[in-house]
Amino acid sequence: MWADIDLRAVRANIEALMEAAAPAAVMAVVKADGYGHGAVDVGRAALDAGASWLGVALVEEGLELREAGICAPILVLSEPPAEAASVAVAASLTPVVYTEHGIEALARAVAEAGRDPLPVHIKIDTGMHRVGCAPARAVSLAQVVHNHSELTLEGVCTHFAVADEPGNPYTSEQLHRFRAALTELEHAGLRPPIVHAANSAATVARTDARFDLVRAGIAVYGIPPAPVFDGRFPLRPALSLRAQVSHVFELAAGASVSYGLRYRLTRSGRIAVVPIGYADGVPRVLGARGGQVLIGGVRHPIAGTITMDQLCVDVRDHAVEPGDEVVLLGRQGDEEITAGEWAARVDTIPYEIVCGIGPRVPRRAWD
């Protein structure tokens, strides 16, 4: 089993996002190991294609990029815990901040390291209600940053809760709150040079939300942020998940397959075994929800419960042999199975599908 990562697709997606967002710059969000695609390879490809920033969730993720030799600006999208401040400073990461405690910890780490002032971005909670400061506190927090010679207020940002629902008026409400906070910062002489709010969905759907920088996540990987965006934007999936048939055997009509014996053959036929399972990120219930794989460019149903390390495929009377390639996600011939298809079958989102591909699946990045 393996996952192919098409870096040409990543570059094409970045170029399309840059064209849509212009004149705003593009940040490629590569948290969670590049949404399961490989943060270092994707980060390099995105920067090669013209992205100006990379975004991560954790200081450790930013450090991995630095250790790989990536020198571009890296934004840590949540305020680092105090114990990680010194690492963030040493790695020249740009942290998001939204508490006085977090600001003080970073300023202290800069002073202890004797480093140049560290750029930070204030995050305002305009309605996502996850992390960020209240809009009414933006000016006071900006003043705290300004009062520390160890820090520079480089940016201010927010995050949308329902940008993937284009008809939902809540995004406009959030934008209104954000713009009001920006006005207050400007009146106080504290508005920073970089303002950003748009995720992938808002980059595509909200020209009024692009500001100076857009933070593209799922679209970098060629996956629409929601089904409503299918076909609205030129995206190329970057990941395909593949394996090889390991065993083929005959079963008589009436025989049942895998744990629970829930898949029963109504006629005699052939079962192909594929050495990949839920430990590798294939949802255990996918077979029961109509999941299929591609072998020889033909869709075949997954037979029965997916187990930890293997799954079975009902290939009927097709000429399938051990060693044949199996495509679980991706294209083979004229057929394609997408992360969105899996997500619809198991009632989740494509983000969870690609992020869930396990670490024992080798990633093979190629140009």
**Which 8-state DSSP code applies to residue 229?**
G
Beta bridge partners of 2: 242
- Closest of 174, 66, 68, 187 to residue 123, by C-alpha: 174
Active site residue 123: no
Q: What angle do CA 12, 200, 128 make, to 5 degrees?
A: 165
**Which 8-state DSSP code applies to residue 302?**
B
**Which 8-state DSSP code applies to residue 320?**
-
Catalytic member of 31, 35, 123, 263: 31
The alpha-carbon radius of gyration of the chain (Å, integer) is 24
Does residue 265 sit in helix, strand or coil? coil
CB 41 within 8 A of CB 65: no
CB 27 within 8 A of CB 52: yes
Name all contacts of 185-189 with Cβ < 8 Å and 24+ positions apart. Answer: 185/138, 185/139, 185/142, 185/156, 188/139, 188/142, 188/143
Contacts of 294 (CB under 8 A, 6+ apart): 300, 326, 327, 328, 330, 332, 333, 335, 337
Catalytic member of 35, 170, 221, 259: 259
Beta bridge partners of 316: 270
Active site residue 259: yes
CB atoms inside a 10 Å sphere around CB 52: 15
Catalytic residues: 31, 259
